[in-house]
């Protein structure tokens, strides 16, 4: 396929460079003393004021002159500024070249007014809209023919696809709630005075479309002012910062920015004011509406040539020409001591000054590299502003700068820095931009011919010829050649001059014809080459097609075999389906029988449950009857034992009389005691028998004849007895009972560390107290008692003759009835022991 060649040389081979064009605009002086004077159309004079900012008189008086491309004084109009600065950029934009225009100056010096202007006195931006759409209005493409591909390029659609996009938009607009169309601005555009300028050198064989985008650089972050991101509740989200990326042609662009297609100046204003309302502005001491960010408004003009018939754009992406014009309104440089900023405003001012400082640094290094031939690295990446526009300084477009200054003496220091930067910037050389249009070799004027051969309804006329617009003329008709007078010598001279002009035009046409022949021949040679390659490709395709046909025939034979086998399988499947239907019927009958049996089993189960419930109720009644009988029996036993306890209490009440007579026993008292013992034995048959000692000396003495006498318990001590009470520390659990052994005189020890404790002549009785847990886990206390008998060697020996045992039982481990019985038995035992 024939590929078009570029009309111009590549940028790498081009050595032509142009300086950065710097313009100066002086703001009118409202009041006060001025320090700037316009000498002529290119020079300004800056004089030192008599007093500095602090009010101190200055001693170093000097005058400095600065020269610019053009100086606009206080009387110049917005129209003059636009015609001198921006109008050539619009011409370059239409011809396929890029451009950059930015305003620079101190805060309050008129940058935003120069860029935007007022409704009745438009600035650079609105006049760019007017001139651009006035020039391309007759050659604008249908909407949606060009679509952004989100990678800094554009896709081309046919007219049919574009119409479908337009219909979809109309349907969405009908479904959406209707709201009155209103330009989102506070400016009354009805009073706006449009610019009637127009560029005539427009290629009629191309279609044009304008896309606009509006971003701001705030705190070194890039934000899209046209981004409409809403939350689920309909509230706007916080703006998201965008990133810079590099496209396939190594051009920097803002990734993900919204590019809106506009078809008229009104639509462009609607988009522009939508972004302006979102731009960050603030009130400072120097300016009531100070820009807190750098505003970048970009116009992108997309143009593509028409096809040979001149009725539709060529559907090739690589022939689309994209040119852009960036209009930048820089935030003003300012000093903190003058603006009195703090907090967020102070941070914004710091970021603004840093970005402007980076711009100055990049310009200084560029100038140094160009003047000294060095190759220092330009720090474009230190700021989003310089990084975004680095391609312009590398030769991707024309660069222009308008320096706005305020002649008031208070701004002298800042104005000097601005003018120095401007004077340095004009020394920078930028490579001349290259137009990106392609020469496709198509016949010029094809669009006009296409319009001429169509009737009013847009249909092609039957008797029209495509060559109507391609007729070449050698000039006007011949002058009269009749000689009516022999003195008409001028007639021959006029004829000779006419023929010379005609021969000159003929030679020009012949040269053009030869050139077209050469181009046609070269195109024909290329087409022939492509034809040969196409034939070779066709032969290979035919060979491949033959192979594919053979494969297809084999596959067809296999398909026939598979179809026959599929038919057999279908018959088998049908037979199996019949068998399955028969088996299903049998299964249904078996399932019905099983369900009947299940129902019967369920009924039997219900009957058994009913019977079990009846038996259970009967057993519960019997158990309740037995519980009542046992309860009555237990109550009877409890009443009997309560009676026994009453009798025991009566016995205890007589204990005092028995104790008075225990030392002077008489036969009568002994008989009384025996009667008491018999009474206790009568009413306490379950009480264990108590052993009685018959000798007072030792358990080994023999029984005496005579009447039976009862001795008291060895726990009861005589007055002359002194007990040695040995209670080890391990048995420290207190007994806390009433029945304690009586030891009127005793010596308590916890350890027997000395033999004198036992061999003491004063101690005659010994008692050892121990505590341990029985098999049931209860505390058991034992008292081992004995007599201390002196030995012949001067020592002493202990002869044990009595053991008393006391168990402490927890009431929680037995039933109330059992515990009460045990308590009664224990009290009876204690009483008997006490009576001994």
Q: What is the dihedral of CA 666, 670, 671, 675, to 10 degrees?
A: 150
What's the residue count for the chain? 836
Nearest to 100 by CA among 265, 296, 292: 296
Contact predicate 403/104, CB 8 Å: yes
Distance between CA atoms of 326 and 257, rounded to whole angstroms? Answer: 14
Distance between CA atoms of 822 and 313, rounded to whole angstroms? Answer: 119
* Residue 125 CB contacts under 8 Å (≥ 6 apart), including other chains: 115, 116, 117, 272, 297, 327
108 is annotated as contributing to ligand binding? yes
111 is annotated as contributing to ligand binding? yes
106 is annotated as contributing to ligand binding? yes
Nearest to 146 by CA among 32, 28, 261, 235: 261
The rounded radius of gyration (Å) of the Cα atoms in the chain is: 63
715 is annotated as contributing to ligand binding? no
Distance between CA atoms of 550 and 603, rounded to whole angstroms? Answer: 75
CA–centroid distance for 721 within its chain: 98
Contact predicate 816/637, CB 8 Å: no
107 is annotated as contributing to ligand binding? yes
Nearest to 394 by CA among 98, 22, 5, 88: 98
* Residue 233 CB contacts under 8 Å (≥ 6 apart), including other chains: none
Distance between CA atoms of 368 and 239, rounded to whole angstroms? Answer: 39
Residue with tokens 């220091």: 413
Distance between CA atoms of 415 and 407, rounded to whole angstroms? Answer: 8
Orientation of helix 816-835 relative to helix 489-653, angle to 10°: 40
- 733 burial via Cβ count (<10 Å: 0-12, 13-18, 19+): exposed
112 is annotated as contributing to ligand binding? yes
Start-to-end CA span in the chain (Å): 140
CA angle 63, 66, 67 (to 5 degrees): 145
67 is annotated as contributing to ligand binding? no
DSSP H or E segment with residue 222: strand 221-224
197 is annotated as contributing to ligand binding? no
Residue 662, helix vs strand vs coil: coil
Binding-site annotation: residue ranges? 105-112
Binding-site annotation: residue ranges for ATP? 105-112
């Amino acid at each position: 396929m024939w590929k078009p060649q570029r009309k111009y040389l590549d940028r790498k081979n081009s050595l032509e460079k142009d300086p950065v064009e710097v313009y100066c605009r002086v703001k009118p002086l409202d009041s006060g003393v001025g320090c700037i004077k316009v000498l002529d159309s290119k020079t300004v004079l800056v004089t030192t004021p008599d007093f500095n900012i602090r009010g101190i008189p200055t001693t170093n008086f000097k005058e400095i002159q600065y020269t610019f491309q053009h100086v606009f004084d206080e009387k110049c109009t917005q129209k003059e500024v636009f015609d001198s600065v921006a109008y050539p950029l619009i011409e370059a934009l239409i011809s396929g070249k890029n451009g950059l225009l930015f305003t620079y100056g101190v805060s309050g010096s008129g940058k935003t007014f120069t860029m935007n202007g007022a409704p009745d006195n438009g600035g650079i931006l609105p006049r760019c809209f007017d001139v651009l759409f006035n020039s391309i209005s007759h050659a604008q493409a249908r909407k949606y023919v060009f679509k952004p591909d989100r990678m800094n390029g554009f896709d081309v659609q046919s007219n049919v696809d574009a119409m479908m996009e337009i219909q979809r938009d109309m349907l969405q607009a009908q479904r959406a709630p209707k709201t009155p169309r209103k330009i989102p601005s506070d400016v009354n555009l009805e009073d706006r005075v449009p610019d009637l300028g127009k560029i005539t050198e427009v290629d009629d064989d191309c279609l044009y479309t304008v896309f606009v985008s509006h971003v701001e650089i705030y705190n070194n972050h890039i934000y899209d002012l046209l981004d409409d991101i809403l939350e689920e509740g309909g509230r706007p989200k916080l703006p998201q910062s965008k990133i810079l990326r590099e496209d396939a042609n190594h051009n920097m662009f803002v990734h993900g920015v919204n590019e809106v297609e506009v078809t008229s100046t009104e639509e462009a204003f609607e988009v522009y004011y939508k972004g302006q309302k979102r731009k960050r502005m603030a009130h400072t001491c120097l300016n009531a509406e100070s820009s807190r960010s750098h505003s970048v408004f970009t116009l992108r003009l997309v143009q593509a040539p028409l096809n040979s018939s001149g009725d539709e754009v060529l559907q090739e992406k690589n022939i689309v020409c994209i040119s852009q014009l960036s209009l930048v309104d820089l935030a003003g440089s300012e000093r903190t001591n003058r603006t009195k900023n703090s907090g967020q405003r102070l941070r914004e001012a710091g970021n603004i000054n840093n970005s402007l400082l980076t711009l100055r640094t990049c310009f200084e290094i560029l100038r140094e590299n160009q003047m000294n031939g060095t190759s220092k690295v330009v720090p474009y990446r230190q700021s989003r502003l310089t990084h975004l526009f680095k391609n312009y300084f590398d030769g991707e477009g024309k660069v222009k700068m308008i320096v706005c200054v305020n002649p008031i003496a208070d701004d002298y220091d800042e104005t000097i820095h601005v003018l120095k930067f401007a004077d340095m910037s004009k020394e920078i050389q930028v490579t001349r931009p290259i137009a990106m249009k392609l020469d496709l070799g198509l016949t010029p004027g094809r669009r006009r011919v296409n319009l001429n051969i169509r009737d009013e309804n847009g249909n092609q006329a039957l008797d029209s010829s495509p060559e109507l617009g391609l007729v070449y003329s050698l000039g006007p008709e011949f002058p009269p050649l009749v000689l009516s007078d022999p003195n008409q010598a001028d007639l021959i001279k006029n004829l000779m001059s006419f023929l010379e002009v005609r021969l000159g035009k003929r030679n020009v046409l012949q040269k053009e014809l030869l050139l077209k022949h050469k181009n046609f021949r070269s195109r024909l040679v290329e087409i022939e080459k492509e034809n040969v390659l196409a034939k070779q490709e066709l032969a290979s395709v035919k060979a491949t097609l033959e192979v594919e046909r053979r494969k297809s025939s084999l596959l067809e034979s296999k398909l026939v075999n598979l179809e026959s086998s599929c038919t057999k399988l279908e018959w088998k499947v049908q037979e199996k389906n019949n068998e399955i239907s028969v088996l299903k019927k049998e299964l249904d009958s078996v399932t019905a029988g099983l369900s009947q049996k299940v129902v019967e089993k369920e009924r039997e189960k219900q009957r058994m449950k009913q019977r079990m419930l009846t038996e259970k109720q009967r057993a519960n009644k019997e158990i309740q009857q037995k519980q009542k009988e046992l309860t009555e029996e237990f109550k009877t036993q409890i009443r009997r034992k309560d009676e026994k306890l009453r009798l025991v209490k009566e016995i205890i009440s007589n204990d005092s009389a028995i104790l008075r007579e225990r030392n002077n026993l008489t036969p009568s008292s002994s008989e009384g005691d025996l009667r008491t013992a018999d009474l206790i034995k009568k009413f306490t048959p379950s009480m264990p028998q108590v052993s009685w000692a018959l000798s007072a000396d030792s358990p080994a003495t023999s029984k005496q004849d005579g009447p039976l006498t009862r001795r008291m318990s060895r726990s009861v001590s005589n007055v002359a007895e002194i007990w040695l009470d040995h209670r080890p520390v391990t048995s420290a659990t207190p007994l806390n009972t009433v029945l304690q052994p009586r030891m009127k005189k005793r010596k308590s020890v916890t350890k027997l560390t000395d033999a004198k404790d036992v061999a003491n002549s004063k101690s005659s009785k010994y008692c050892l107290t121990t505590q341990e847990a029985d098999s049931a886990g209860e505390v058991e206390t034992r008292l081992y008692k004995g007599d201390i008998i002196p030995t012949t060697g001067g020592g002493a020996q202990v002869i044990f003759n009595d053991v008393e045992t006391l168990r402490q039982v927890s009431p929680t481990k037995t039933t109330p009835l059992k515990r009460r019985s045990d308590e009664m038995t224990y009290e009876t035992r204690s009483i008997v022991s006490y009576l001994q």
